[in-house]
């Protein structure tokens, strides 16, 4: 039986309903029987998938889109105060609910697993959703990316487990009360919201403080920020802390990651002392670590480790996480959401390992002026792992430009690190540029969190012609 819909969520209106986080919550509410409506700047496959569920999706933003009988207006941190629908809600006294509060209300009465960390959240949440589904447990889930088809980023399941991506960027993960929490890594990012690593640690400590008494924290043993956080929360005795990784002191220890092209075999020692080997169907050591975190979380919920390990092998990736877009003229085109230097390095190392001697070409689009200002040098250094790169202009997303902050910061750092880099401001010119560079056997990676993902099909088309 579906959990009850909170009264304020009976007829909600979502501003920016096409976004990854917003659309997932809207979908679950619609599947539970709510009358859902919303608006987005432009039409999309996600909007069309919501309409197929009976959701009303308006294009553009106007006060008239807000229905007379709306019981709440749901917003994310990306919605600006002058949005006409938000202003209309405030004028009419309609409750304004943050996305994280809406998601928290969906988890009530269930057994939540919340997946947090600076990188890897979407992949790890997806691994859990797919593997629990393969075991017939019918989980509910809300992920920051699509598993396969548009709109597959969320599902209302009949089971008792709810798997959710827990976003630290705006501190919204403080709203959840998980039975099991995963923390994959702790690094400085989201510079518009966090001024220092101390603020990041405090934020993650608050998240750990939200774990239900008797619950479990699964946390990385290898990553310095996660180890520091483990030290900081060592006084919490009403939860179990399970560490995982390759470190000798890890509770769930990774003994071996054996890469095999675009898959890996992973051998672990469980807390019980048993040794288990299973296959991860995506390339790269960091994805193997994500799978082990998912395994440890499932075991904390009481699932048999062998069954769960086998089910984890059913996960074949999520859109934009090293997703193969196609092959033309002997060249494979792969899409990566990586936009932080740590993610860029991890994905480039994974692709380099799978390339088996072939060249790796990257089309990189920096994401956010604030991130580029703080981490542009490290982004450039990461690009030195590619054989050649094309660097686009910064994708602003929700930000206004910062004087003096451009892609040149990244390009200069990449060249200083010995990288072969071509600047390109015109995205329409990229397919021709790549077609001139690529040779049969090469791998092309479109990389970034903005609209660089749209270039994959255009590059394949140009290569094919």
SS3 181: strand
CA angle in degrees (0–180, nearest 5) for 237-241-245: 160
For residue 314, the Cα-to-chain-centroid distance in whole angstroms is 19
Rounded Cα gap, residues 269 and 244, in angstroms: 10
Catalytic, out of 122, 125, 243, 342: 122
Structure tokens at 151: 């709109």
165 is catalytic: yes
Count of C-beta atoms within a 10 Å radius of residue 84: 16
Tokens 């202009």 correspond to 393
Q: What is the DSSP letter of 128?
A: H
DSSP classification of residue 189: -
Residues 361 and 359: their CA atoms lie apart, in Å, by 7
Radius of gyration of the chain (CA): 22
Residues written for the chain: 465
Q: Which of 85, 165, 168, 246 is catalytic?
A: 165
Helix or strand holding residue 62 (H, E): none
Q: Find out whether 444 and 331 touch, Cβ atoms under 8 Å.
A: yes
Binding-site residues from annotation: 117-123
Give 260's contacts (C-beta < 8 A, 6+ positions apart): none
State the Cα–Cα distance between residues 419 and 364, nearest whole angstrom.
Answer: 13
Output the CA torsion sign for 243, 249, 252, 256. positive
**Binding annotation for ATP:** 117-123
46 is catalytic: no
**H/E segment holding residue 163:** strand 161-165
The label of the residue with tokens 């009988």 reads 69
Catalytic (active site) residue 108: no
Residue 407: count of CB within 10 angstroms of its CB: 22
Q: Which two tokens stand for residue 170?
A: 């705006």
- Record the tokens describing residue 33, joined without a space: 């029987």
Catalytic residues: 121-122, 165
């Amino acid at each position: 039986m579906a959990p009850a819909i909170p009264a304020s969520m009976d007829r909600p209106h979502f501003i920016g309903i096409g976004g990854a986080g917003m659309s997932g919550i809207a979908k679950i509410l619609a599947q539970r029987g709510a009358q859902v409506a919303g608006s987005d700047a432009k039409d999309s496959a996600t909007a069309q998938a919501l309409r197929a569920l009976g959701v009303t999706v308006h294009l553009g933003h106007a006060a008239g889109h807000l229905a007379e009988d709306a019981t709440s207006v749901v917003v994310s941190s990306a919605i600006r105060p002058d949005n006409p629908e938000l202003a209309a809600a405030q004028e009419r006294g309609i409750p304004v609910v943050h996305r994280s509060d809406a998601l928290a209300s969906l988890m009530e009465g269930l057994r939540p697993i919340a997946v947090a960390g600076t990188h890897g959240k979407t992949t790890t949440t997806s691994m859990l959703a797919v593997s629990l589904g393969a075991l017939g447990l019918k989980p509910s889930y809300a992920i920051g990316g699509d598993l396969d088809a548009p709109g597959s980023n969320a599902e209302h399941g009949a089971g008792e487990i709810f798997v959710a991506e827990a976003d630290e960027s705006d501190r919204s993960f403080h709203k959840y009360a998980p039975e099991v929490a995963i923390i994959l890594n702790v690094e400085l990012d989201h510079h518009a919201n966090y001024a220092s690593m101390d603020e990041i640690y405090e934020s993650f400590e608050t998240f750990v403080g939200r774990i239900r008494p008797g619950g479990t924290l699964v946390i990385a043993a290898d990553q310095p920020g996660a180890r520091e956080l483990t030290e900081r929360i060592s006084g919490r005795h009403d939860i179990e802390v399970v560490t995982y990784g390759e470190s000798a002191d890890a509770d769930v220890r990774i003994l071996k990651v054996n890469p095999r092209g675009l898959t890996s075999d992973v051998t672990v020692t469980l807390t019980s002392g048993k040794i288990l080997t299973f296959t991860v169907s995506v390339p790269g050591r960091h994805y193997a670590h994500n799978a082990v975190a998912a395994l440890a979380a499932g075991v904390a919920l009481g699932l048999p480790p062998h069954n769960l390990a086998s089910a984890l092998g059913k996960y074949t990736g999520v859109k934009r996480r090293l997703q193969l877009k196609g092959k033309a003229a002997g060249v494979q085109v792969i899409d990566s959401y990586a936009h932080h230097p740590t993610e860029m390095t991890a994905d480039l190392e994974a692709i380099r390992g799978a390339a088996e001697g072939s060249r790796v070409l990257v089309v990189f689009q920096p994401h956010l002026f604030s991130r580029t200002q703080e981490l542009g040098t490290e982004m450039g250094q990461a690009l030195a792992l590619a054989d050649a790169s094309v660097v686009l202009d910064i994708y602003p997303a929700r930000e206004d430009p910062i004087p003096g902050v451009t892609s040149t910061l990244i390009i200069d750092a990449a060249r200083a690190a010995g990288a072969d880099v071509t600047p390109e401001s015109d995205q329409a010119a990229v397919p021709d540029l790549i077609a001139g560079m690529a040779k049969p056997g090469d791998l092309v990676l479109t990389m970034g969190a903005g609209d660089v993902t749209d270039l994959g099909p255009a590059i394949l088309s140009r290569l094919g012609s």
